[in-house]
Structure 1
Amino acid sequence: MKVLVAVKRVIDYNVKVRVRTDGAGVDLANVKMSMNPFDEIAVEEAVRLREKGIANEVVAVSIGVRQAQETLRTALAMGADRAILIVAADEVATDIEPLAVAKLLRAVIESEKPDLVLCGKQAIDNDMNATGQMLAALLGWSQATFASELVIEGDHATVSREVDGGLQTISVRLPAIVSVDLRLNEPRYASLANIMKAKKKPLEEKTAQDLGVDVTPRLKVLETVEPATRQAGERVPDVATLVSRLKEMGVM
């Protein structure tokens, strides 16, 4: 079984994001970038499937700027066998829209012919939560979203997925697209030895033009603003005053 994992280069989750003064987006100058945390979980799950003998090859794919090579090297250090970078933008601030990403991934999948595609349920930079679903629709494949457990048995995958109020367990026929959630696993740290080995693993580079996909944006960001400042709390002397204040605020 071949497993393909889609990974994205995003602002590191520990970094406090700052909005640019012109409101055109977030400030990326001298900002630490890393792999999307949900995608790290997807890579970890793919590597575990190979370690169990279920998968025999793990291929990591990233779409964006050339600097995403660093993200793919991280995936290779975690255990992926090889990587593919699709250069679809020249500017670091350019974010490829989910539909364009799905079309590019479809082109790679038609060439690679994996049995399973894993990806994060969403990217922490734009929170679209759309690429996996769009990719499944374009391919006509089975899909399972928000996976918190994945079991492969023959030509089927059993997926426990988080839904409102609990868990739902479904069975999908392979090939399939599975988007993973936080509770699926805990990603490993890449050892220094594996980081050095990752530099020698194959990393193929293509462009959107090579795959015949138009990545021209369909959406235009009109304005980016900071979240509203949270108002300070108010201390009340007793429960009666608290109830009164809550009624005034329309909470009760």
Structure 2
Amino acid sequence: MEIIVCVKQVPDTTEVKIDPQTNTLIRQGVPSIVNPFDKNALEEALKLKEKHGGQVTVISMGPPQAAEALKECIAMGADEAVLLSDRAFGGADTLATSRTLAAGIKKLGNFDVILCGKQAIDGDTAQVGPELAEHLAISQLTYVSKLDITDGVVRVEREHEEGYEVIETTLPVLISVVKSINEPRYASIKGRMKANRKEVPVWTAADVDVNLDEIGLKGSPTQVRRIFTPQQRVQGEIIQEDTARAAVTRLLTKLNQAKII
């Protein structure tokens, strides 16, 4: 089974700061980590490999230092890694990012399963996975908390607010997972030694089939105009009276005084 895992290097959320001029994350001097949900996706990929055999390849789009995140994935058990890195990719929104990742995956060749975390903790959009599936014209299953693949049939439990759904589809498929699906393993000493020796190939815009007008900032239909902290709500008042009628009367009086009714 050929499995691809999309990962992202993100700032440690305890250290996030915003540049007030550009409305973008300040990454200089901020510790970076592998997006936690992507570690769950990688763990599930490794479990599929242990059950079905095959290969796990991790892919990421980001600056050169994102190679460290990919090496961490190799230390956990991934076989191969590819970094998409080019100034032309910079400033991308989710749509432009998914186009770039799709181009990289197409260059990798055949695959059976693509696994993603449900969302990145720096953007929290949960859009890249579904958009990627659309670019590749494959089925997608999102918010997956349980996964089984048997004889080419994919069966999942999908979380939602009122419980879960059981859904089936066939390969190839893109699956985004939630935190409850597993507990990511720790990297072994042998895995870290392998990762230290591994050279992560870097593909630029010239190495993949992309339209330069559809990637990076130029290819992003959405842009951040302003980031601000919402005004704190004024704490409400609890009306306490001896009877319900008295409480209602007092409430109506206050609403009238505030010109709400």
- Matched with 1:110 is 106
**How far off is 1:181 after superposition?**
1.0
Distance 1:162 1:196, change over 3 A: same
- Secondary structure (helix, strand or coil) at the match of 1:152 reads strand
Higher helix share: 2
2:78 paired residue among 57, 77, 80:
80
Mapping of residues 131-142 of structure 1, within 5 Å: 131-142=128-139
Distance 1:102 1:55, change over 3 A: farther
2:59 paired residue among 61, 64, 67:
61
- Matched with 1:224 is 227
Q: Which has the larger radius of gyration?
A: 2
Structure 1 segments, 4+ long, off by >3 Å, are 88-91, 226-231, 233-236, 238-241, 243-250
**How far off is 1:225 after superposition?**
1.9
CA distance in 2, matches of 1:224, 1:4: 34
**Structure 1: unaligned runs, 5 residues or longer:** none
CA distance in 2, matches of 1:102, 1:162: 23
Mapping of residues 154-233 of structure 1, within 5 Å: 154-213=151-210, 214=212, 215-217=215-217, 218=220, 219-229=222-232
CA distance in 2, matches of 1:117, 1:202: 23
Once the two structures are superposed, residues 173-216 of structure 1 have per-residue CA deviations (whole angstroms, 9 ceiling, x without a partner) of: 10000011111111122234422221223522111232132313
- Matched with 2:30 is 31
CA distance in 2, matches of 1:135, 1:246: 52
**Number of residue pairs the alignment of both structures matches:** 243
CA distance in 2, matches of 1:126, 1:228: 21
- Secondary structure (helix, strand or coil) at the match of 1:209 reads helix
Could you tell me whether the CA contact under 8 Å between 2:60 and 2:82 is conserved in 1? Answer: yes
**Structure 2: unaligned runs, 5 residues or longer:** none
Aligned-CA RMSD value: 2.7
CA distance in 1, matches of 2:237, 2:186: 44
Could you tell me whether the CA contact under 8 Å between 1:81 and 1:201 is conserved in 2? Answer: no
1:100 paired residue among 80, 96, 100:
96
Alignment TM-score, normalising by the size of structure 1:
0.85
- Matched with 1:6 is 6
Could you tell me whether the CA contact under 8 Å between 2:46 and 2:77 is conserved in 1? Answer: yes
**How far off is 1:246 after superposition?**
8.7
Could you tell me whether the CA contact under 8 Å between 1:46 and 1:58 is conserved in 2? Answer: yes
Once the two structures are superposed, residues 96-122 of structure 1 have per-residue CA deviations (whole angstroms, 9 ceiling, x without a partner) of: 322222222322332321110001111
Could you tell me whether the CA contact under 8 Å between 1:149 and 1:160 is conserved in 2? Answer: yes
- Secondary structure (helix, strand or coil) at the match of 2:197 reads coil
Alignment TM-score, normalising by the size of structure 2:
0.82
